[in-house]
Structure 1
Amino acid sequence: MQWSKIKTLFILCFFILNIYLLIEFLNKQEQADLGVLEEQESSIEDQLESENITIDDIHIDVTEESYISAEQKEFSQQEREQIADFDDQNTEVINDSIIVSQFEESISIPDDASGDDILTILEDNILYLEEYVFGEWNNEMNVLVFFQEKNERSVYYNRSGIVLVFLDEENNMEFYTQTILEDAESQGDSRTLIQPIRAVEALYVNNELYPNEAVMSMDIGFYTRVPLENNEQVFAPTYKITLDTSNDEQEYFVNAIEGTVLNNRYTDFLDEPIESIVANIETMDDDSELKNDVLERMEPMLDEDNGVN
């Protein structure tokens, strides 16, 4: 009877000891993993410093984000009438979803105008312009790019949610094209985003970040290159990273969940929107003066010599 009690006590003691040892092991493993992560972070920062690659003071508070999906908008009859009421514009809607409009008189841009200033100039000339933010002035193509926002974040260079304003040789606004995305829906639960330093590391290991360059700014929005058959698109949270290179400023995009670099030439991001819009404009009536004027300006952008494949 006494031996049975002693045996039970030993078994209980060994059980408690095993639990204690397991907890100690897990704690040490966690500390080791944290040490590896700290060493990795220190390693990439040391590598960047050794090559004189600087990172400006960047603050991105978001740590989680979900994928989103949205479809391209088709304009209602009321919206078509609203577009037709814009003053001094020759406008057509292609396939119910693409606005092409030429200003009867080109609109000048002040030399010192900011992106917000340009939005103010255009606010009474473009439908739902309040949903867009200024993206860039692409000097190579002489085009103003405006990104539509979803969930208060920019949707970068998407053929279904972008305004492109084309300028003449004197930088006056001649005509624009516009597409709009419908309301966005979240796809699944929020996902943990990679740290900004990991996005910079992705550029570095992919030979997109070179000695003596600088990471000037970083923002987060959405990007996709995979439209689905039903016209719905799924957008991934994406870091937009602006670099100060030896030649000029360039933008790169890194998937904020997977850490993959999305492209290696910032001019390529306009390829798909422009190619898609040109293909749709070519379906207009051949006797359309608007069609001929717009294609005359846009088609040279598709030439390989001009940087668009």
Structure 2
Amino acid sequence: MDWNRTKSIFIFVFLILNIFLYTLYVNRYNEAKDIEVPGEKTIEARLKDDNITYGSLPNNIESASYITAQVHKFTKAEFKDTNQQFTPTDDNTKARAIFMKPVKLRNVNDDASFTDFVLANVNEGASYALWKIDREERVAVFFQKTNNRMFYYNGSLKIKWNTNDEVIMYEQTMIDNIEEMEQQETVIPPLQIIQTLYAKGPLKPDSRITQMKLGYSTLVKLTRTQVLVPTWEVQVKLPDGGKEEYFVNAVEGKVIEIQEDKQESGEEDWGVE
């Protein structure tokens, strides 16, 4: 290991974090001014006026730490299943595996079937948790997790099945050398996150917040090394029945524009006829 290089990377990472934390309280103060304006209705009243509702919110998360991790580089030796044709992409940081003989899902309408498939057929499958299923496009998305908290769009697994309910392929990225920093940061309460989303405009009238979960998203990306920040995921049901997800930095309170892989999930884009 090149210790001097590793030490320099971490010094740079901590410098960035110190600058970030230095401005944290000023940013929170500015956010608070945006949310509550003297003489105007409270956020609670405005949410009620716009019929924006929510159920029970997490109330037992007061602190969390930043996390450092490294982007995993795949090798062919990791894919020992002879039924899988392995192809590395993106400088070996993404792996694609096509099943020579498609694998039948137990029950495509049961979410647990997808988790069972991953545990049985994907390398390090136990480190992933199911995030979302698009049954119309026949795609299921998993994210890596630590302590039951997901790494949003870091360490992802996307599986594709055919009209016979058989998995034909999957794409995988992974992070490893995951370490929590010692310092604990105060986590902004869920209700304040909802207020921030409302003040900034994403929440639409007649919407319902169906779930809030704490996970992690990328704050700093340095080649292979990444720093991840605690992040609230807010799941929202829209008036037309559609669904959206928003992500908010749980330490600073800023809405995060996570750059999802925009690759469509149709068979042609997956290279499968």
TM range (shorter): 0.7 to 0.9
Aligned ranges 1:64-103 → 2 under 5 Å: 64-75=63-74, 80-84=76-80, 86-94=81-89, 95-103=91-99
Say which of 182, 186, 191 aligns to 2:185: 191
Aligned to 1:284: none
Q: Deviations over 1:39-64 (max 9, x none)?
A: 99x92222212221111112241111
> How far has the Cα of 1:241 moved from its partner?
0.6
Aligned to 2:232: 239
Letter in 2 for 1:64: S
> How far has the Cα of 1:120 moved from its partner?
0.6
Answer yes or no: is the 8 Å Cα contact 2:197–2:203 preserved in 1: yes
Q: Any stretches of 5+ residues in structure 1 without a counterpart?
A: 1-36, 276-293, 301-309
TM-score (norm 2): 0.74
* 1:165 equivalent in alignment to 2:159: yes
Aligned to 1:104: 100
Answer yes or no: is the 8 Å Cα contact 2:59–2:189 preserved in 1: no
Aligned ranges 1:146-225 → 2 under 5 Å: 146-158=142-154, 161-168=155-162, 172-187=166-181, 189-224=183-218
Aligned to 2:29: none
Aligned ranges 1:1-309 → 2 under 5 Å: 43-75=42-74, 80-84=76-80, 86-94=81-89, 95-109=91-105, 110-114=107-111, 116-138=112-134, 142-158=138-154, 161-168=155-162, 172-187=166-181, 189-224=183-218, 226-229=220-223, 231-247=224-240, 248-263=242-257, 269-271=260-262, 274=263, 296-298=268-270
Evaluate the alpha carbon distance shift between residue 139 and residue 187 of structure 1 in structure 2; reply closer, same or farther with a 3 A threshold.
same
Q: Which has the higher contact order (CA 8 A, sep 6+)?
A: 2
Letter in 2 for 1:184: I
TM-score (norm 1): 0.66
SS at match of 1:182: strand
**Structure 1 residue runs of 4+, over 6 Å off?**
none
Aligned residues: 231
Larger radius of gyration: 1
SS at match of 1:240: strand
Which range moves more in the overlay, 235-244 or 55-64? 55-64
Q: Percent identity between the aligned chains?
A: 25
CA distance in 2, matches of 1:249, 1:187: 34
Q: RMSD over aligned Cα, in angstroms?
A: 2.9
Evaluate the alpha carbon distance shift between residue 121 and residue 139 of structure 1 in structure 2; reply closer, same or farther with a 3 A threshold.
closer
Answer yes or no: is the 8 Å Cα contact 2:58–2:190 preserved in 1: no
Letter in 2 for 1:147: F
Letter in 2 for 1:83: F
CA distance in 2, matches of 1:138, 1:50: 33
Answer yes or no: is the 8 Å Cα contact 1:156–1:222 preserved in 2: yes
SS at match of 2:176: coil
> How far has the Cα of 1:210 moved from its partner?
1.6
Aligned to 2:5: none
CA distance in 1, matches of 2:219, 2:134: 20
SS at match of 2:196: helix
Q: Deviations over 1:63-120 (max 9, x none)?
A: 11111110012346xxx43512x14221234444432110123334424211x32111
